[in-house]
Amino acid sequence: MFLLNFVSTTTLFWVAHAILAVGIVGYFASNVAGVYKYIAKPLAIALIVAGAFLEGNLYGTSGYLAKVKEMEEKIEQAKQQSAQVNTAIRTKIVERVKVVKENTNANVRVVEKVVTKYDNICTLSNAAISVHNSASQNAVAPSSGPAVEGTSDVKASELIRTVTENYGTYYQMREQLLGWQQWYKEQRKIYEGMK
Rounded Cα–Cα distance for residues 166 and 162 (Å): 6
Give me the percent of the chain exceeding a pLDDT of 90.
38
Q: What is the pLDDT of residue 6?
A: 66
Average pLDDT for 111-122:
91
For the entire predicted model, the pTM comes to 0.64
Q: What is the pLDDT of residue 80?
A: 93
* Range among 22-26, 37-41, 161-165 rated most confident: 161-165
Looking at per-residue pLDDT, the higher value among 114 and 9 belongs to 114
- Whether 2 shows a pLDDT value over 70: the answer reads no
Q: pLDDT band for position 5 (50/70/90)?
A: low
C-alpha neighbours within 13 Å on the C-beta side of residue 55: 11
Q: What is the pLDDT of residue 169?
A: 95
CB of 100 within 8 A of CB of 172? yes
Q: What is the pLDDT of residue 57?
A: 79
Q: What is the pLDDT of residue 47?
A: 86
The answer for 124, left when phi > 0, alpha when psi is -120 to 50, beta otherwise, is beta
**48: Cβ contacts below 8 Å, ≥ 6 apart:** 20, 23, 24, 27
Inter-axis angle of helices 37-113 and 9-30, nearest 10: 170
Containing domain of residue 103, as a range?
2-193
Q: What is the pLDDT of residue 155?
A: 92
Which of 24-28, 29-33, 129-133 has the weakest average pLDDT? 29-33
Looking at per-residue pLDDT, the higher value among 191 and 33 belongs to 191
* Range among 3-7, 33-37, 126-130, 181-185 rated most confident: 181-185
Rounded Cα–Cα distance for residues 59 and 65 (Å): 10
Number of domains in the chain: 1
